[in-house]
Structure 1
């Protein structure tokens, strides 16, 4: 086994362990537990969109900051980050449309503030993105894009099943199944390309651990 293959194989195994821990924590998030057992309410969904919107607004800006801090030796990562920022900078508008479609108003949504978990998550992302060559953020993408690709569509379908919602009321969640699946495919290509060394792998796993915990905290805080 070559060093590159060994590094990427070990990295994927370590990230898989982080994902298992995230799944276990998500199972204990109150709003997701209610979604699973069928007792979720329209107000729960409204609060989910309300809280997600405040954090999603920051997504493209921190990705752009990360792109600006990759040097020429990390040109491929800089290019990938620029593309990603461009693809995601309108995502919050989908949440706004869904929110209005279930009876909310743009005024209350745009006047909202991040919950404690969202504040911690955005603060960490901007801080890390400001570091020179923030390769560890690939771990953050593993978590965030993974949630979109693996869980968002299932959540959308369950909200529709329990609450009788139309497609135009869960567009944000449904959209991210396909969009984030493409992103995770691109991420896997980067992680197996030989760009990532052993030191980078440690940073990627650590960043994934932190983001997994903070993302779950963001969802936990919806009930507080």
Structure 2
């Protein structure tokens, strides 16, 4: 049974990914700082649960020691702090960079070590609109997501010729959730539909790999 590791698991997109991958025959592992919230999803999907701070190198290394043979690794954490540049708290900005970018590097590093040895694997990094366009009063999130996108492009150029697929997914729009209703039904991104796109990336033949995919609802301006 192939394995899939989702880092930064929770409600919404990562939950949809866990359900879809479980249905497709993957043994799913869920990692997050707060694991209590994952119990219902784990019971539903048969997934294992792992406590991990994605920005802590030792914890990420330990996670991959136990789940390092995963054929699919998804990096999904993000952290944002908003405000005028002149008033931002440096500690909060640093945390945003650590979670959005540095944690992505740690995950890619550990995954690449194992996937290169195996000769195959897929690493998917969840980006955002902020990774291609920086918004006012959102500099920390833009910095982190721009860095994650740069990591993905660099890693793809290095690892694709060695058999490891790396892709960055730009989530350009709001995601529908139980607290974020969508009166128009399709004016927000459906997390199940996003998960289907992730699976398509996993299944891409290596003679037609994508390194980046943009996903947005049809009404989103870009």
Q: TM-score, normalised by structure 2?
A: 0.30
Q: Whose Rg is larger?
A: 1
More strand by share: 2
Q: TM-score, normalised by structure 1?
A: 0.29
More helix by share: 1
